[in-house]
Amino acid sequence: MGDIFFQDDWETPDTQVISWDYADGKSITWEGRSCSGFPVEGKDRGAMIYGTKGAALLENANYTFYDNDRKVLKTAKANVGADPTNTVSASGIALDQLHVKNFLDCIRTGATPNSPITEGHKSVAMLQLGNIAWRIGRELNLNTSNGHVVNDEPAAALWHREYEPGWEPKV
């Protein structure tokens, strides 16, 4: 399901629902409605994660964990403001600037990032695969060992990026 609230150059909806079903019977549903104007849990930005033992509301630089009775288990509110002079992450949105700082510090020192790249990749790849499924109009089947699309050439063809000449990655 997907809607496009703004007529622009996006190739996938700015408001959509993506579901993933796993062989072990588990499933995940993601709902993105950043452009719809209808808040989730009273918030216009963030994420609400519903689990079998509770929920987590992640909103800007804040979070709240709940049990199944909606009792607050833990909450944190960060006091992070935007720094318009910061050329690395000038937006200051949520904790982005702290993630960028941690990433750069890890490059300099060899430390382990607070948010491992492999975990971020899994989350982003899942959403990209959902966008591909929407664009081709059907569900995808994946190789569970590497996440690649199987037996679907049109979908697999969308799992790439076209680079401007001179900007291609050199590996």
Average pLDDT of the residues in 112-137: 87
Q: Which residue has the tokens 């009273």?
A: 42
Q: What is the pLDDT of residues 48-102, one digit of tens each?
A: 888 889 999 887 778 899 999 999 999 988 765 555 555 554 444 556 677 788 8
Between CA 117 and CA 103 the distance in angstroms is 9
Q: Provide mean pLDDT across the span 121-127.
A: 85
pLDDT-derived band at 2 (thresholds 50, 70, 90) equals low
More confident residue, 50 or 47: 50
Residue 114 confidence (pLDDT) above 80: yes
Confidence at residue 90, expressed as pLDDT on a 0 to 100 scale: 45
Span 150-167, pLDDT tens digits: 999 999 999 877 889 999
30-45: pLDDT as tens digits: 887 767 777 777 777 7
The two three-digit tokens of residue 159, written as one number = 């799992």
Q: Which residues are within 8 A (CB) of 86 and not within 5 positions of it... i.e. 6 or more apart?
A: 92, 97
Q: Helix (H, G, I), strand (E, B), or coil: what is residue 13?
A: coil
Interatomic CA distance for residues 82 and 88, integer angstroms: 12
Res 171 pLDDT > 80: no
